[in-house]
Amino acid sequence: MPPPARPIPAPHPLADDRGQGSVELVALLPLLALLLLALVQATLAGYAAWSAGTAARAGVRAAAVGRDPVVAVRRAAPIGGRDARIRQDGDTLRVRLRVPSVLPVSFGTVGGSAHLESQR
């Protein structure tokens, strides 16, 4: 005589894992967005630092040939040239530019400097 058939138990309603991937993705999206914003912000800070160095070199070249270094700095800085803080100490020119931000938060300033003796 065969053993009696055992009924197949019904699955527990909380044991269903359909949609689990979607829930995990939704939970991960804010972290990915924050990571992307941080990467963009770091890129902008690096670009501002590069711009400050470029502007300082342009300003010191202008001063070396007798032109106005402030005008040269403001023209040469791709970002923040109008608001650049410029300080000249003898043959050294220091430029500070504000770091652009993707958020309504200030990330301060970055600077660059250049030194060139007068060619006269």
Q: In this predicted model, what pLDDT tens digit does every residue of 59-100 receive, in sequence order?
A: 999 988 889 999 999 999 888 788 899 999 888 999 999 999
Task: Read off φ and ψ for residue 34, nearest 5 degrees.
Answer: -65, -40
Q: Give me the DSSP letters along 18-66.
A: TTHHHHHHHHHHHHHHHHHHHHHHHHHHHHHHHHHHHHHHHHHHHHHTT
What average pLDDT score do residues 105-109 get? 88
- What pTM was computed for the model? 0.72
Neighbouring C-beta atoms of residue 96, cutoff 10 Å: 20
pLDDT of residue 65: 87
